[in-house]
Structure 1
Amino acid sequence: MQLYLVTTLPLACSSYTTINDSTRSTSYTSSVGCDSTAFGSSGTWVRFTGVGGTQIPTSPPVTGTCGTSAPGWYNGSMPNISATISGTVCYNWSGNTCNWHNAIQVTNCNSFYIYNLINVPVCSLRYCTI
């Protein structure tokens, strides 16, 4: 007899907004704007897809990339499968890799991550992808 471990994924893994945006890539160097009104103050669950990238980077991108002046990156550990954790997004600006920051949540949906993102603290900040 074989036993199988069944992992139940959080509901958010099947109910999120998909963002397919090549301008969020750490390799994109033109200006687009900021995320000061993109996700609301209480947050929106999003999944990044496509050529722009599928995850928020876990190390600081170079300033002036990702379509903004101060690019955002996730400063923390990624969750295990089916887990949701709270963490911090930092924004790299003027020699300080965490000049601004805000809290987010990250969920591991087995084959992809989703993020509960809020509006960034000030304009010229943007969530990046790799």
Structure 2
Amino acid sequence: MAQKALVGLIWVCTWIPVLTVSLAVAQTPTTAVVLSDEQVTRYARIVLEMEPHRQEAQKRSQATNDPASKDQIRREFIRTATEIITRHGMTVPDYNRITLLIRSEEGKALQQRIEAEILRLQSEDPQPPAR
């Protein structure tokens, strides 16, 4: 069950930041991307830190029908997500490339590596600090 929830976490958590990906990045061949263990850990830490912010933004967005409010919530989340990504030493385009890769057929093995790393990090520190 935890594994299934984890997959949902990665897919949902990465939804909004990937909206900023350019068409050129989206068309980058994914088979050429190989990530080091350090990059996998960095991505996993970002996902864990970003998740509470994503949940809060989603909750706030669902509570309103006002398009301007929804847009403001989305912009705030993207700003927060960008800060989290860069604080962990990754660029938004690199984060988006990894996100697109793990969603592809070629990225199944990487997705499993990231999921395993998230589980490892959660077992070390079940409550990642919110920043």
- For normalisation by structure 1, the TM-score amounts to 0.23
Query: Larger % of strand: which?
Result: 1
- For normalisation by structure 2, the TM-score amounts to 0.23
Where relative contact order (Cα < 8 A, 6+ residues apart) is larger, the structure is 2
Query: Larger % of helix: which?
Result: 2
